[in-house]
Amino acid sequence: MSGAQKTYTVAVAGMGKRGTHHADACARNPRFKLVGLCDIDPTRLEAARQKFGAEHVDTDARRLLAVTKPDVLVFCTLPQIRLPLIQAGVEAGVKLIAYEKPVATSTNEALEMYRILRQAGVKTVVSHQHRYGEHYQKVKDIIASGAIGRVHTVYGHATGWMMHMMSHMVEYASWYNDYAEPEWVVGQAAGKEKFADVHASPDYICALIQYSNGVRGIIECGAGAPDVPEVDYWWRKCRVGAQGTEGFAEVLTGGGWRAVTKNGMSSGPGCMDYEHDMPPYVQGIADWLDDPAKIHPCNGETALKGFQVMMAACRSVVQRGKVSLPLGPGEPELETLQHALP
Ligand SMILES: NC(=O)c1ccc[n+]([C@@H]2O[C@H](COP(=O)([O-])OP(=O)(O)OC[C@H]3O[C@@H](n4cnc5c(N)ncnc54)[C@H](O)[C@@H]3O)[C@@H](O)[C@H]2O)c1
């Protein structure tokens, strides 16, 4: 882009942990100007106003958007609040909505969100920002170099439960498989305690994925997923990687990377770090708004495919057998799964 670069105005809704991360990253990037902050909790909102000094603050996102008319809406609310904020952003005429995983709480909700977004031509980005970690990138580079031969299996597991962690696992495993289309999913699940959590989930879930290039995906999340003893921090006990005909390469979210390839063994450090991962994540938003060809690596259409893998696994538990993708409307997956589990 030649000449002065455009500054994009941003409103952030949901000033908890992740909203603060997003506001901070936007405030530090000269390509963005924070014009509005929103939280339903006035105390949190006031703390955010003092920290970031945005011109407008409001406890109601729709009202804030009507006043500020930003280029970008960021929202970082808990999983139950997705469709209303997508609607509010589209109605206010934003160009891009960046929001937190998981994409939605059901296929029906996700399909409605993306119907509205596509009709309005609004871009979306979903926060699967772990991929910016140098250890995640190193594994991608090793796989892409051909050093592990022909990839036949990708995998990801996390001790954290489904609505927290599964879309991360599917996203990065699919990335390591060059985002080949997922064709069908077989799933199994166990345990109902975590349905009481705000990230309502079965205690344990696993999914086998058939990708269009013949690669098998294996995903597990929650109580019963393999431990990653090399990692102390519980939420970062995740292992994502690929096996090929000549070796494997894998990342541990809190414990670096390692590989065995035709050239021998290698390993290196790395740990998921918001401070490190958020700046390139928000820079990618400006890049995509500048140039439609520079699609954000965490774009919402890709995230939607990963979300459908997760929902297909839930449907498979209930319906049994293979569930073909893409999904159409159906029974709300979480409620139906909770009812079906013993
Ligand atoms: N990508 C990641 O690495 C990562 C890490 C942690 C959490 N998350 C996700 O981020 C999301 C938010 O998690 P968090 O830990 O920041 O939660 P949080 O509870 O710290 O913050 C959520 C905030 O949203 C506010 N809120 C609720 N309803 C609202 C509304 N209608 N309008 C405006 N504000 C509203 C709440 O008052 C709260 O301050 C979740 O979906 C979670 O899964 C992602």
Pocket flag, ligand 1, residue 60 (CB < 6 Å): no
Pocket flag, ligand 1, residue 168 (CB < 6 Å): no
Q: What is the pLDDT of residue 117?
A: 98
* Cβ contact 91:68 at 8 Å: no
The tens digit of pLDDT for each residue in 147-156 reads 999 999 999 9
Tokens of 220: 């597990």
What strands lie across the sheet with 32-38, from one edge to the other? 56-58, 32-38, 8-13, 72-75, 96-99, 123-126
The tens digit of pLDDT for each residue in 14-62 reads 999 999 999 999 999 999 999 999 999 999 999 999 999 998 999 999 9
Q: What is the pLDDT of residue 309?
A: 98
Q: What is the pLDDT of residue 43?
A: 97
Residue 138 exposure: Cα atoms within 13 Å on the Cβ side: 18
Q: Would you say residue 77 has pLDDT above 60?
A: yes
Atom index in ligand 1 nearest the CA of residue 20 equals 16
Percent of the chain with pLDDT over 70: 99
H or E stretch at 10: strand 8-13
Q: Would you say residue 331 has pLDDT above 90?
A: yes
Q: What is the pLDDT of residue 254?
A: 98
pLDDT band of 3, cuts 50, 70, 90: low
Please say whether the dihedral angle defined by the alpha carbons of residues 144, 147, 152 and 157, taken in this order, is positive or negative: negative
> Ligand 1, from 22, 38, 39, 127: best to mutate by most atoms within 8 Å of Cβ?
39
Q: What is the pLDDT of residue 4?
A: 81
CA of 272 to the centre of ligand 1 (A): 19
The tens digit of pLDDT for each residue in 206-222 reads 999 999 999 999 999 99
CA distance readout (Å), 140 to 132, 137, 182: 11, 5, 19
Q: What is the pLDDT of residue 104?
A: 98
Pocket flag, ligand 1, residue 298 (CB < 6 Å): no
CA of 222 to the centre of ligand 1 (A): 20
CA distance readout (Å), 120 to 94, 96, 98, 239: 10, 11, 15, 38
Q: Would you say residue 2 has pLDDT above 70?
A: no
CA distance readout (Å), 88 to 33, 55, 61, 65, 296: 20, 20, 8, 8, 22
The tens digit of pLDDT for each residue in 88-107 reads 999 999 999 999 999 999 99
148, exposed or middle or buried, with CB in 10 Å at 0-12, 13-18, 19+? Answer: buried
* Cβ contact 11:92 at 8 Å: no
Per-residue pLDDT averaged across 322-334, rounded? 98
> Quick count: other Cβ atoms within 10 Å of Cβ 328?
8
CA of 39 to the centre of ligand 1 (A): 10
**DSSP character string of 15-49:** -SHHHHHHHHHHHH-TTEEEEEEE-SSHHHHHHHH
Per-residue pLDDT averaged across 60-72, rounded? 98
> Quick count: other Cβ atoms within 10 Å of Cβ 154?
29
Per-residue pLDDT averaged across 79-86, rounded? 97
The tens digit of pLDDT for each residue in 102-137 reads 999 999 999 999 999 999 999 999 999 999 999 999
pLDDT band of 188, cuts 50, 70, 90: very high
CA distance readout (Å), 327 to 120, 134, 312, 322, 331: 22, 33, 7, 12, 11
What strands lie across the sheet with 323-324, from one edge to the other? 264-268, 257-261, 247-252, 238-244, 151-158, 216-222, 204-211, 182-190, 323-324
Pocket flag, ligand 1, residue 127 (CB < 6 Å): yes
Tokens of 45: 């909102």
> pTM to 2 decimals?
0.97
Q: Would you say residue 201 has pLDDT above 70?
A: yes
Q: Would you say residue 1 has pLDDT above 90?
A: no
